[in-house]
Amino acid sequence: MALPNTSYGREKIDALMKNNEGVWFLGIGGVSMSALAEMTLSKGYRVGGADRTCNERSERLRRMGAEVEIGEGKSIPKGYGAVVYTVAIGEENLQYVYAKNVGIPCISRADYMGWLTGGYGTRVGIAGMHGKSTCTAMCAEIFLRAGDPTVLAGAELPALGGKSCRIGKGKETVVFEACEYRDAFLRFRPNVAVVLNIGMDHVDYFKSMEQIRRSFQTYADLAKDGVLLWNLDDPESRTAFSGREGAKTFSVDDPSADFCAEDIRINEGQIDFTVRERGGERYPIKVRAVGRHHIYNTLAAVGAARLSGITPETIVKAMTQFRGAARRMEYKGKIKGCPIYDDYAHHPDEIKATLAGARTLVPKGGRMVCVYQPHTYSRTAGLFDAFAKAFGEADEVLFTDIYAAREQNESGVTAEALAKATSKNGTKACYTGDLTKAAEAIAKRIKSNDVLLVMGAGDVDEILKKLPVQTDKI
């Protein structure tokens, strides 16, 4: 069972950290947790932590001086006065139980991140059910060109040298992803609060759209001394925010928005459009990205930058240098001449948008073959019908076993059932089983004029290690 987020806030965490020399991270090798650990090291604290497996992030922290344990220890080394945990570890984690039993304060990742980021002058929080990492990557490019920001992303970014964080020298600006899971984003203090979209997800926690809208409204309220920037074209965002005084908007369809996209041209791998601001200023944007949905991510990044005082000239130059984010339509090479893209999409809306964009890359006479690993039993069961209808743009879908993450299969849902339901909706689909069998199925099916899309939020990208992938550049 996932752990709850703490709600200590800045003053209490200040008190906890006042005479504390060290912080121990549970799940230190994760994308977000490793970033917080690095940021804590930069503040002069002793840093250590544990994770189930070793990866490049945990090894990099070791090289920086952190103490990293691989595997689940039963206690925490002496000298650590606080424990930071990710809610995904589960209440049975032995080090978490030990810390509770001996009285070491335990702080959730979100609460601790709110403490780390709260002292910056400009605090840009990127929220939304979909697109956060890409929009954060775009903001990173822009704010880096404009100054010396701190960036905390939910994915590894080329703009940050392949890392998920960058630590600026001062406290002028921080850009961060504001994740909604278990209301994590309510622990932050953005003064530029971006909302890309609102929808049903995380059904193990959110039980209704009303609950989700309330959470996003509360997140927007956190920017009471700043500004909310939201997507005017998103129906649920309109329900949540229409009529909110002082808010700013972005849109593709509505010319009344504060930041509007006009003259849109989508070519293979590139989107060109003109930003028109409410005050009349206009400037061209060119960005390498696949899929119309990235216009919204770009508009949100542009709007956040402009509301932070960055000039259009800086934004235009930065966006031409946009290099994407890890596992967001990331080109990985070829197999039998077939290009392979890796994507994190794990929600029906994300799948539809990603496949629609990827369709533009398929040559005449070719096929789009998708390998999909469902993520968590609760999401697969709760959104089952939507998943079964989400793959219409694909010519063939290979479903692997469900990635359980933190869960037990209480619903009895299976990937095999999802494959059958997808087939009934008119898309050729089959169930392959584990990643090894999926790799074998790919090797038999793929042809030189196909496009292969590896998709999911678990470890489905490990399938690339099981294939004879020829790495090259696009």
| 134-179 tens-digit pLDDT | 999 999 999 999 999 999 999 999 999 999 999 999 999 999 999 9
CB distance 136 to 153 below 8 Å: yes
Does the pLDDT of residue 203 top 90, yes or no?
A: no
Which of the four pLDDT bands, split at 50, 70 and 90, describes residue 280? confident
CB distance 70 to 94 below 8 Å: no
Distance, CA of 456 to CA of 438 (rounded, Å): 14
Percent of the chain with pLDDT over 90: 86
Higher model confidence: residue 3 or residue 389? 389
Which of the four pLDDT bands, split at 50, 70 and 90, describes residue 290? confident
Does the pLDDT of residue 459 top 90, yes or no?
A: yes
Among the ranges given (171-175, 195-199, 255-259, 334-338), the one the predictor scored with the smallest mean pLDDT? 334-338
Structure tokens at 156: 């590894």
Instruction: Say what the pLDDT of residue 1 is.
Output: 60
Residues 6 or more apart whose CB falls under 8 angstroms from that of 83 comprise: 23, 24, 25, 26, 76, 95, 96, 99, 104, 105, 106, 107
Does the pLDDT of residue 319 top 80, yes or no?
A: yes
Compute the average pLDDT of residues 9-25: 94
Does the pLDDT of residue 117 top 90, yes or no?
A: yes
- Burial class, 359, CB count within 10 angstroms (exposed 0-12 / middle 13-18 / buried 19+): middle
Residue 459 parent element (H or E): none
Residue with tokens 């200590």: 8
> What is the greatest pairwise CA distance in the chain?
66
Angle between helices 109-117 and 31-42 (to 10 degrees): 40
Instruction: Say what the pLDDT of residue 473 is.
Output: 66
Classify the phi-psi angles of 152: left when phi > 0, otherwise alpha if psi is within -120 to 50, otherwise beta.
beta
Distance, CA of 22 to CA of 70 (rounded, Å): 19
Compute the average pLDDT of residues 422-448: 95
Does the pLDDT of residue 223 top 80, yes or no?
A: yes
Per-residue model confidence as pLDDT tens digits over 358-395: 998 899 999 999 999 999 999 999 999 999 999 999 99
Per-residue model confidence as pLDDT tens digits over 178-190: 999 899 999 999 9
Q: Is the dihedral of CA 166, 167, 170, 176 positive or negative?
A: positive
Does the pLDDT of residue 60 top 80, yes or no?
A: yes
Residue with tokens 């689909």: 429
Which of the four pLDDT bands, split at 50, 70 and 90, describes residue 91? confident
User: Could you tell me the domains of the chain?
Assistant: 9-114 (3.40.50.720), 118-319 (3.40.1190.10), 330-466 (3.90.190.20)
Which of the four pLDDT bands, split at 50, 70 and 90, describes residue 458? very high
Distance, CA of 336 to CA of 460 (rounded, Å): 20
Residue with tokens 């080329």: 158
β-pair partners for 430: 398
Instruction: Say what the pLDDT of residue 409 is.
Output: 94
Give the C-alpha distances (Å, rounded to integers) separating 320 from 259, 266, 288, 289.
19, 15, 7, 11
Which of the four pLDDT bands, split at 50, 70 and 90, describes residue 3? confident
| DSSP secondary structure of 352-413 | HHHHHHHHTTSPTT--EEEEE--B-HHHHHHTHHHHHTTTTT-SEEEEE--B-TT---SS--
Distance, CA of 325 to CA of 138 (rounded, Å): 9
β-pair partners for 284: 274
Distance, CA of 433 to CA of 416 (rounded, Å): 8
Q: Provide the mean pLDDT of the chain.
A: 94
Does the pLDDT of residue 229 top 60, yes or no?
A: yes
Compute the average pLDDT of residues 323-340: 90
Query: Per residue, what are the HEC states of 288-329?
Result: CCCCCHHHHHHHHHHHHHHHCCCCHHHHHHHHCCCCCCCCCC
Does the pLDDT of residue 272 top 90, yes or no?
A: yes
Percent of the chain with pLDDT over 70: 99
Instruction: Say what the pLDDT of residue 474 is.
Output: 56
Q: What is the pTM of this model?
A: 0.90
DSSP structural state of residue 347:
S
